[in-house]
Amino acid sequence: MRDFSTDHSALALNTASLGHNLDGHGAGWSPERVIDACAARGFGSVVFWRREIGSRAVEIGERARATGLSVAGLCRTPFLVGTDAVDEAAVLDEAKASIDMAAGLGAAVLTIVVGGVHPDTKGTTESLKIVTDRVAALAPYAAERNVKLALEPLNPVYAGNRSCLTTVRDAVDICEAVDAPNLGVAVDVYHVWWDSGLDAQLQRAGKDRIFGYHLCDWLADTRDVLLDRGMMGDGVADLRAIRAGVEGAGYAGPCEVEIFSANNWWKRDPGEVLDVMIERFHSLC
Q: What is the distance between the alpha carbons of residues 102 and 109, in angstroms, rounded to a whole number? A: 7
Nearest-5° angle of CA 50, CA 150, CA 262?
A: 50
- Residue closer to a copy of itself by CB (options 74, 117) is 117
Which of the stretches 7-15, 59-67, 132-140, 214-222 binds a copy of itself when contact is defined by CB under 8 A?
Answer: 214-222
Interacting positions 119-148 with a copy of itself (CB under 8 A): 122-125, 128
Interacting positions 2-41 with a copy of itself (CB under 8 A): none
Q: How many residues bind a copy of itself (CB under 8 A)?
A: 39
Work out which of 11, 13, 164, 168 binds a copy of itself, going by CB under 8 A. Answer: 164
CB 95 within 8 A of CB 278: no
User: Phi and psi (nearest 5°) for 161?
Assistant: -130, 0
Going by DSSP bridges, is the β-strand pair 70-75/255-257 parallel, antiparallel, or unpaired? unpaired
Helix, strand, coil in percent for the chain, rounding step 5: 45, 15, 40
- Residue closer to a copy of itself by CB (options 64, 174) is 174
From residue 215 to residue 244, what is the string marking binding to a copy of itself with x (rule CB under 8 A)? ---xxxxx--x---------xxxxxxxx--
Query: Residue 186 forms beta bridges with which residues?
Result: 212
- Shortest gap between Cβ of 115 and a copy of itself (angstroms)? 11
From residue 240 to residue 279, what is the string marking binding to a copy of itself with x (rule CB under 8 A)? xxx-------------------------------------
> What residues contact 18, with CB distance under 8 A and at least 6 apart?
26, 27, 29, 34, 266, 270, 273, 274
Going by DSSP bridges, is the β-strand pair 11-14/45-49 parallel, antiparallel, or unpaired? parallel
Q: How many CA atoms lie within 13 A of 205 on its CB side?
A: 34
Q: What is the distance between the alpha carbons of residues 84 and 194, in angstroms, rounded to a whole number? A: 29
- Shortest gap between Cβ of 114 and a copy of itself (angstroms)? 13
- Shortest gap between Cβ of 231 and a copy of itself (angstroms)? 14
> What residues contact 230, with CB distance under 8 A and at least 6 apart?
216, 217, 218, 219, 222, 259, 261
- Residue closer to a copy of itself by CB (options 124, 182) is 124
Q: What is the distance between the alpha carbons of residues 168 and 200, in angstroms, rounded to a whole number? A: 10
- Shortest gap between Cβ of 102 and a copy of itself (angstroms)? 28
Binding status of residue 155 toward a copy of itself by CB under 8 A:
yes
Work out which of 56, 96, 129, 169 binds a copy of itself, going by CB under 8 A. Answer: 169
Binding status of residue 203 toward a copy of itself by CB under 8 A:
no
Work out which of 159, 175, 178, 205 binds a copy of itself, going by CB under 8 A. Answer: 159
CB 187 within 8 A of CB 202: yes
- Shortest gap between Cβ of 82 and a copy of itself (angstroms)? 8
Work out which of 141, 156, 244, 282 binds a copy of itself, going by CB under 8 A. Answer: 156
CB 2 within 8 A of CB 44: no
Interacting positions 72-101 with a copy of itself (CB under 8 A): 83
Residues that bind a copy of itself (CB under 8 A): 83, 116-117, 122-125, 128, 155-157, 159-161, 164, 166-167, 169-170, 173, 193-197, 218-222, 225, 235-242
